[in-house]
Amino acid sequence: MAEKLIYLFEEGSESLRALLGGKGAGLAEMTKAGLPVPPGFTITTEVCRKYLKLGKEVLKEIEPEVRKKMEILEEKTGKRFGDVNNPLLVSVRSGAPVSMPGMMDTILNLGLNDETVKGLIAQTGDERFAYDSYRRFIQMFGNVVMGIPHEEFEHIIEKWKREKGVKYDTEVDAVTWKKVIEDYKELVKKKTGKEFPQDVWEQLFMAIAAVFESWNNERAKVYRKIHGISEEMGTAVNVQTMVFGNRGNDSGTGVAFTRNPSTGEKKIYGEFLLNAQGEDVVAGIRTPLPIEKMAEALPEIYEELKRVCDQLERYYKDVQDIEFTVEKGKLYLLQTRSGKRTAQAAVKIAVDMVKEGIIDKATAVRMVSPKQVETLLHRQVDPSAKYDVLAKGLPASPGAACGKVVFTADEASELGSRGEKVILVRPETTPDDIHGLYAAQGILTSRGGMTSHAAVVARGMGKPCVVGCEAISIDLEKEVFTVGNVVVKKGDVITIDGSRGIVILGEVPMVEPSMSPEFRELLSWADEIARLQVWANADTPEDARRAREFGAKGIGLCRTEHMFMAEDRLPAVKRMIMAMTREERESALDEILPMQEGDFYEILKAMEGYPVTIRLLDPPLHEFLPKEREILEELMELEKEPEKNALLIEEKRELLKKVRALQEANPMLGFRGCRLGIVYPEIYEMQVRAIFRAATRLVKEGCKALPDVMLPIVGHWKEMEILREMVVRVAEEEMSKAGVRVEYHVGTMIELPRAALTADEIAKYAEFFSFGTNDLTQTVFGFSRDDVEGKFLPQYIEKGILKHNPFEVLDRDGVGALMKIAVEKGRKTRPNLKIGICGEHGGEPSSIEFCHQIGLNYVSCSPFRVPVARLAAAHAKLSEDGKGWSSEK
């Protein structure tokens, strides 16, 4: 290994993040910025990768260099590693290039043994502290490095506390800690067959190896899988001089965000514990104090901390999440990293930082990921709803969720995967629970703070979460929790509001989110950057209005079949389908026409000045008739009194005949879309007539209606030619009847491979294309969505054949390749061809990025996803310019 394997903090930098990990790079930057960081060094991820490949040999290779660096730490601190009189103690921590909170392991107080503990007493004059530190070290080392369960150590402490009649750890005296240590060492020997290592160098290299190996532990793997982090990266190891927050009431430890990670408020935010080590905070075992309390306990340190936070933010141009320790009145920073935040906070922070002159608009847009703002579109408890609050906890992750109570991660995962909505209720969560957190609608814990495992993970996932809700008392065995005399059993429904930290019994009405002024501002910046426009899919005037409110610049898909399904129309629709002659069919259609006209009038009006793309009838006609089984059952019932029901029976038999005649083996590939329009032109004519009657009426009323007529399931240019001619003819008839002109276009969905492959021919007759990537995915893969999602698709994803469900994330290699062909061929014929997408992918960030890359003009998605899409469109542009985030990993 020729390259530099170990960096002192002062030698590193942010640009070496891939080698040093996030923590190492952060410590380096802080050190260089002159901040108070205990000295230390970082062993690179390169070493980890080699270790994972070649094994222990690698430790021997780095040993000389590690010893050299330890000497430098000895020089800086004036202490010596393993020295009986003035021992140097270090922490050993993992730090991957991408943040993986709670995933990797940490060892503190390394360098203590039966001899050096005496040196620590000499240094500090605090025997109790020294033995407490030693027992903590054995416990942590025994657990993390030697694999002995945490509980077995806790049992020993419990035993001694009972013996001594004390309740809290803080009440345990030095003598008792010594006994605990004896028992610990015996436990280690019993469990591992070896003595607890007294050689401090052996301790150090075992710890380094354990950090490397922790890269491959189960919870780390799960985390990486969920977050799409590469398995190849490896972790760095940070070895740092120990400082102690547990040296009395002028000491302490804490974590702080430079701004509120939940709301984005510009105010230092966090928690601290007096006289405690860092692990006490992060593990959520003791409930810490809000950081403001430091102003009383350690006022000078608090002021210094605020200054340091400000300095860090301006240095990193982002909110920082720091760990600090105060040792006997001196502040030390142990870690800094970009602070995880809620979407709401992310938006506010980004906008505020622009206004504070820290960053520019593009950076602000880049700082908020489209995936993140999805959570802003989470529902909230209806402010006008009446309900009783069952309990209050900490508002750890915003949004409201409702579901059945479950008490184990396994059960949450099982029910969740079946599509049931559950709330996972736990005293606290651990990394082993990650699959349950993932499957649950929300998380409720009785213990832990805002930075506890549950809180951090829930915020990352954008799930509502309430933590530290001490009012609830959980009985895991009986699977109930109680609040006073209210008993909540497994399966009972509760609602949690993670924005306010409250728990409610039963289901509460919720409201859909609206956008904050900051969010609007950020999205307007995003629009300035983006090349793609964002439109919405909307079938009703309400949806259209909502889409507009969320910033949609048009309707990319207005489906007309839902209008056919409306209860007041279904009888006429049925008559239309049952018609034996064209005349009968037309008479039924005449009844539907004014209703459709009304639909179009409202939606065109709601979108005044913006195009509304109306798709003519798409589903096969049998979808409007009852199912065969239903009719058969009704018939059997009627035939119990055949004479009385003679007429009805006759009618049902007719219906049955029609239903059977219309039955299809593969309706997805059957008689639908424009095929209906070709065989029954009168149906499409009626729809087009309704569109132009509505539009001309609006134009006469002074409203700018912009209808675009879209034909579904076109596969051959001749279909397009015939139907385009029909649309133009009917439009002209209606316009000349009304005496006004309407601006309109005729275009087609591209949802069949053949349409994409012959797009040059189709573009001769189509003024716009809209990719129907739902159907295109079905035909390109040969996947019937109805059939495969529940059957083999999960196995395909599990086996790694597919990375994502292709109905959620656009398949670039297959479907995308076909889209590219269609864009190229279409624009060859008609260079200014307007092209969009109206499949569900139109609201998914990675798919939007791809649409940007292949040069689409717009994406159209459900109204609630419009903000996500606007942001994603901007990110796609920034990414293209080499400035940012890319969703493709």
Q: Which residue has the tokens 């593990």?
A: 283
How many CB atoms are located within 10 Å of the residue 216 CB? 12
In terms of CB distance, is 189 or 657 closer to its own copies? 657
Site for its own copies contains 818 (CB under 8 A): yes
Site for its own copies contains 779 (CB under 8 A): yes
Site for its own copies contains 619 (CB under 8 A): no
Site for its own copies contains 626 (CB under 8 A): no
Task: List the alpha helices (DSSP H) in 617-680.
Answer: 628-638, 646-662, 674-679
Among 402, 576, 713, 838, interactor with its own copies by CB under 8 A: 713
Rule CB under 8 A: which of 628-667 touch its own copies? Answer: 664-667
| Residues labelled catalytic | 453, 838
What is the number of residues in the chain? 889
Site for its own copies contains 766 (CB under 8 A): no
Site for its own copies contains 804 (CB under 8 A): no
Q: How far is the CB of 752 from its own copies (least distance, A)?
A: 4
In terms of CB distance, is 603 or 749 closer to its own copies? 749
Q: How far is the CB of 828 from its own copies (least distance, A)?
A: 14
Q: How far is the CB of 258 from its own copies (least distance, A)?
A: 44
Among 781, 789, 797, 883, interactor with its own copies by CB under 8 A: 781
SS3 165: coil
Site for its own copies contains 67 (CB under 8 A): no
User: By CB under 8 A, how many residues form the interface with its own copies?
Assistant: 49
Site for its own copies contains 197 (CB under 8 A): no
Do 454 and 467 contact (CB within 8 A), yes or no?
yes
Of 147-155, 258-266, 394-402, 798-806, which segment contacts its own copies by CB under 8 A?
798-806
Among 505, 598, 817, 853, interactor with its own copies by CB under 8 A: 817
Of 201-209, 417-425, 502-510, 795-803, which segment contacts its own copies by CB under 8 A?
795-803
Do 245 and 218 contact (CB within 8 A), yes or no?
no
In terms of CB distance, is 36 or 753 closer to its own copies? 753
Q: How far is the CB of 779 from its own copies (least distance, A)?
A: 5
- CA atoms of 884 and 889, how far apart (whole Å): 13
Among 222, 753, 774, 829, interactor with its own copies by CB under 8 A: 753
Distance of CA 695 to the CA centre of its chain: 41
* Ramachandran angles phi, psi of 881, nearest 5°: -80, 5
Tokens for 197? 């290592």
Residue 360, C-beta contacts closer than 8 angstroms, at least 6 positions apart = 354
Among 34, 64, 702, 800, interactor with its own copies by CB under 8 A: 800
* Diameter of the chain measured on Cα atoms: 109
- CA atoms of 216 and 105, how far apart (whole Å): 11
Amino acid in the structure at residue 246: N
Per-residue interface string for the shown chain with its own copies, residues 663-692, x marking contact by CB under 8 A: -xxxxxxxx---x--xx-------------
Q: How far is the CB of 567 from its own copies (least distance, A)?
A: 25
Going along 57-212, which residue ranges are E strands?
Answer: 90-95, 106-110
- Provide the pairing of β-strand 510-511 with 380-381: antiparallel
Q: How far is the CB of 146 from its own copies (least distance, A)?
A: 36
| Alpha-carbon distance values, 218 to 101, 412, 586 (Å) | 14, 19, 65
- CA atoms of 396 and 477, how far apart (whole Å): 26
Do 447 and 284 contact (CB within 8 A), yes or no?
yes
Rule CB under 8 A: which of 168-187 touch its own copies? Answer: none
- Provide the pairing of β-strand 465-467 with 394-397: antiparallel
Amino acid in the structure at residue 844: E
In terms of CB distance, is 647 or 665 closer to its own copies? 665
Q: How far is the CB of 675 from its own copies (least distance, A)?
A: 5
In terms of CB distance, is 643 or 813 closer to its own copies? 813
Task: Name 253's bridge partners.
Answer: 273, 325
Q: How far is the CB of 856 from its own copies (least distance, A)?
A: 19
SS3 76: helix
437-465 in b/e burial notation, b at 16+ Cβ within 10 A? bbbbbbbbbbbbbbbbbbbbbbbbbbbbb
In terms of CB distance, is 784 or 829 closer to its own copies? 784
Q: How far is the CB of 850 from its own copies (least distance, A)?
A: 15
Site for its own copies contains 773 (CB under 8 A): no
Site for its own copies contains 597 (CB under 8 A): no
Positive/negative CA dihedral, 822, 824, 830, 836: positive
In terms of CB distance, is 173 or 664 closer to its own copies? 664
From the list 670, 766, 361, 686, the residue with the least C-alpha distance to 528 is 361
Rule CB under 8 A: which of 458-517 touch its own copies? Answer: none
Among 761, 840, 844, 849, interactor with its own copies by CB under 8 A: 761
- CA terminus-to-terminus distance, the chain: 29
Of 123-131, 247-255, 718-726, 868-876, which segment contacts its own copies by CB under 8 A?
718-726
Site for its own copies contains 791 (CB under 8 A): yes
Of 149-157, 161-169, 506-514, 757-765, which segment contacts its own copies by CB under 8 A?
757-765
- CA atoms of 245 and 330, how far apart (whole Å): 10
Do 214 and 207 contact (CB within 8 A), yes or no?
no
Residue 701, C-beta contacts closer than 8 angstroms, at least 6 positions apart = none
In terms of CB distance, is 393 or 712 closer to its own copies? 712
Q: How far is the CB of 671 from its own copies (least distance, A)?
A: 5
- CA atoms of 794 and 416, how far apart (whole Å): 14
Q: How far is the CB of 418 from its own copies (least distance, A)?
A: 15
Residue 727, C-beta contacts closer than 8 angstroms, at least 6 positions apart = 684, 688, 709, 746
Of 269-277, 391-399, 424-432, 750-758, which segment contacts its own copies by CB under 8 A?
750-758
Of 165-173, 547-555, 775-783, 851-859, which segment contacts its own copies by CB under 8 A?
775-783
In terms of CB distance, is 205 or 807 closer to its own copies? 807
Do 285 and 446 contact (CB within 8 A), yes or no?
no
Q: How far is the CB of 790 from its own copies (least distance, A)?
A: 10
Q: How far is the CB of 797 from its own copies (least distance, A)?
A: 11
Site for its own copies contains 207 (CB under 8 A): no
Task: Name 834's bridge partners.
Answer: 768
Distance of CA 638 to the CA centre of its chain: 54
Site for its own copies contains 616 (CB under 8 A): no
In terms of CB distance, is 497 or 775 closer to its own copies? 775
Distance of CA 246 to the CA centre of its chain: 37
In terms of CB distance, is 82 or 772 closer to its own copies? 772
Site for its own copies contains 374 (CB under 8 A): no
Q: Which residue has the tokens 């060492």?
A: 185
Among 387, 703, 802, 857, interactor with its own copies by CB under 8 A: 802
* Ramachandran angles phi, psi of 597, nearest 5°: -55, -40
Site for its own copies contains 784 (CB under 8 A): yes
Do 561 and 618 contact (CB within 8 A), yes or no?
yes
In terms of CB distance, is 527 or 811 closer to its own copies? 811
Q: Which residue has the tokens 């005037």?
A: 541
Among 68, 328, 627, 754, interactor with its own copies by CB under 8 A: 754
Q: Which residue has the tokens 């905070």?
A: 281
In terms of CB distance, is 74 or 634 closer to its own copies? 634
Query: What residue ranges bind its own copies (CB under 8 A)?
Result: 664-671, 675, 678-679, 713, 715-716, 718-719, 722, 751-754, 757-758, 761, 775, 778-784, 786-788, 791-792, 795-796, 799-802, 811, 813-815, 817-818
